[in-house]
Structure 1
């Protein structure tokens, strides 16, 4: 049995041709014509934002100003919306998921590998950091969500997948596991730019664990939200379509 708020939206809803109807209504009303433009306009905005972030912001580990982080998250959010509202949902379009493999194999993996094998002096450590966390990890999150959406996943669930991926990254879990998974000593304090932005400076290893655990309720709350129900109302219908 499918939950009411977890049903994928039909193509007619996403392309703006669906209408709002209530019991007793005799005709269509409340059509959301802008809905058909949502996915591609978000894609254009996200791609442009990502290009501007890559070209205009410094490729450093440190976050110079909070606005840099806001710009990066905004560009990523636009790409998330583009994927979540991609209108042509069909397993026959699985070939689209091959495109990220070309990006990973043709650029990301060779580039990241070079930082280990070629830049032995670690002269471009900041570039390695930005390639790994600004490109590689977000690309993985977007690829997983795109595969889910193309396979028939609902927009709401796609957004939950991508939001959860972002929260896990910023939760401090990675910063903790770096010292657990690698043969290094556990430090007294952890200096992570995204954590420092909230706490005002480095915090102890134990405090970082508490910081990460504090994100568990956030992840649970995100995945409990009735996003698909809200989306169907936003786009112009009160009746979710059945799972295909």
Structure 2
């Protein structure tokens, strides 16, 4: 079970990096410490895009196909034009769910971002060419479900567009958890689902996890990691004011 939790936390940290890079999810400066506390700072800060190299050269964290997809994309004349205009590359690849289901694993999605615009480049790594380039606002892109590849396996991510049922389920889990129930007891509070991950692979079948911002009326805020499948809180951050 400890191994599974570590795996989930690693995935969330990967998503955080991707979120900062493409401006799709609110950024979290996340740190894991020995006492199993998940700490989040600066979740309302804007990402500093100058930290990212617009021309990554073989990221060892990515698969050969992912690195090749980025190389193919930055060799495209249209993509080079965007880069010359100040767009920058996300340090990874992801496909919209409908494209992953329609095209398959030989296609990768490369993302460029600037201000409130996301350039979505679909690359066919088998044929070594760019298949399609599409423009989205960040609002439009956040409303989509994305598929992220990690170590040859795939996870679905939702950044926004959560249903009333999703929110109701999270509220019930927080109310039934001993720690969070004590914090919100007799207080007004709001919750914001920052992102949601759906996992289905050989190690974890049909599991859904959410990163939730709990905003209390006294001004304190907590980042809570919720296991929606097992309906429980499995990580809770220290209060951030």
TM-score bracket relative to the smaller structure: under 0.3
The one of the two structures with greater contact order (alpha-carbon pairs below 8 A, sep at least 6) is 1
Rg comparison, structure with higher value = 1
Per the normalisation by structure 2, the TM-score is: 0.22
Structure with higher helix content: 1
Structure with higher strand content: 2
Per the normalisation by structure 1, the TM-score is: 0.22
